[in-house]
Amino acid sequence: MRQNRLRKVLCIGVLAVLTAGPSYAQDLHFSQYFHSPLLINPANTGFNPDYDYRIGGNYRNQWANVGNPYRTMSAWGDVKVFANRFENGWMGIGAALYKDAAGSGNLNRTSGYASVAYHQMLGYNSLLSGGFSLGFTSKRVDISKLSFDNQWNGKFFDVTIPSNEPFAYSQTSYLDLQVGLNYAYFASENVYLNAGVSIMHVNRPRESFFDPSVSDDRLYRRYTAFVNSNIKLQDTWILNPNIYVSKMGNAWETVVGFNANRDLSGDGSKQLILGLYYRAKDALVPMAGYEINDLRITLSYDATVSTLNSFNGTRGAYELSIVKSGVFPSTSGRSVRCPTVRF
């Protein structure tokens, strides 16, 4: 009974965070943020050196030991366009679908985004990119499956007792705007640097299941910055150290670490991928994967190191990412190719 009560209280807490202002709801995120580029920064749209297109998918399952698991899924793709219409520049267009679900109340969110970016070479070694995305989000919850504190009769939660919660809707939706900038510097054929900044929820959309007269809850803008580098070592390893920082309201997320690719075939067609990341005050994230003919599959595991590990037994989350990059057959015109670090 105590465990059941704890799970109900946790559901109440999660719902309160989602509906009481100002909002600190968990925003979409992946530990393998570098494999969800359109979510992190719309300026990443079409920014894929040496390739014309890419498609990807992500799946994340977390908090399986603390009530119902929180599942996040995405499918996305982008492509270079108009490479023959700009002097040493091109545009990128892309789209992404996201869905997450959690809790006894079947709280779920579905989002779709379309993004556009422009990329311009600055001389022979630098690239500046800017982009934006516009999305639509729908969020819903099954209120009938939730219990609240005033329904506790001293022995159990009695759903026949009115909750007296001022819910006006079981579904809410809104438009969302994101903007971003990227800068890349190709120091040599063995060293590449990249940094970017973005702002999500620029328009501060309203997200609440309450009537506006009760709560005009609006999402805080989410500010994100990242820095990464590719460094080729002795023609057998490519090291990719990186750091990611995101702030939304008073909530911060910082992820720092590296992944490395080991050439297994001599021509880069087959690669072993290993990595290790740390999310500040939360989790240690080892990663492993394999790449063959520009198809990359990676799996990571969030081992909780915060105080939450007493509830979930250090089992934070596991995450799967699949990314396929490719080049279109040669056609008339020209395609801009950026210098990059590769086997």
| Candidate from 140-144, 234-238, 286-290, 334-338 with smallest mean pLDDT | 334-338
More confident residue, 190 or 14: 190
- Residue 14: predicted pLDDT: 42
pLDDT at 320 over 70: yes
Query: For residues 226 and 173, what is the distance between their CA atoms, to the nearest angstrom?
Result: 29
Distance from C-alpha of 264 to C-alpha of 235, rounded to nearest angstrom: 11
Bigger pLDDT: 164 vs 243: 243
Return the closest-CA partner of residue 238 out of 229, 249, 226: 229
**Phi/psi of residue 252, each to 5°?**
-120, 145
Q: Which amino acid is at 224?
A: T
Give the distance from CA 83 to its chain's centroid: 28
User: In whole angstroms, what is the distance from residue 206 CA to residue 272 CA?
Assistant: 44
Is pLDDT at 258 greater than 80 in this prediction? yes
Inform me whether the pLDDT recorded for 158 exceeds 80: no
Residues, the chain: 343
For position 138, what pLDDT does the model report?
93
Rounded to an integer, the average pLDDT of 295-304 is 95
pTM of this structure: 0.83
CA distance 162 to 148: 9
Closest CA to 51 of 76, 79, 32: 79
pLDDT tens, position by position, 62-79: 876 666 678 899 999 999
The domain over range 2-326 is classified in CATH as 2.40.160.40: yes
Q: Per the omega criterion (within 30 degrees of 0), is the bond before 205 cis? A: no
| Cβ–Cβ < 8 Å for 94, 77 | yes
Which range is least confidently modeled, 14-23, 87-96, 330-339?
14-23
Who's near 162: CB < 8 A, 6+ residues apart?
Answer: none
Task: Give the pLDDT of residue 90.
Answer: 93
Whole-number Å distance between alpha carbons of 136 and 47: 23
Distance CA 74, CA 38 (A): 11
| 9 closest CA partner among 177, 186, 150 | 150
Domain residue ranges of the chain, discontinuous segments joined by +: 2-326
In this predicted structure, what is the pLDDT of residue 6?
39
- Collapsing DSSP to helix, strand or coil, 10 comes out as helix
- The percent of residues in the chain predicted with pLDDT above 70, rounded, is 77
What does the pLDDT read at residue 117? Answer: 98
DSSP state letters, 40-85 = H-GGGTT--TT-SEEEEEEEEEE-TTSSS-EEEEEEEEEEEE-TTT
Q: To the nearest 10°, the Cα dihedral for 98, 285, 341, 229?
A: 100
Residue (of 166, 148, 165) closest to 157 by Cα position: 148
> Which pLDDT value is given to residue 263?
97
Query: What is the C-alpha separation between 207 and 218, in angstroms, rounded?
Result: 6
Range name among 48-57, 86-95, 206-215, 242-251 with the lowest pLDDT average: 206-215
- Please count the CA atoms within 13 angstroms of the CA of 186 that sit on its side-chain side: 16
Q: What is the mean pLDDT of residues 306-333?
A: 77
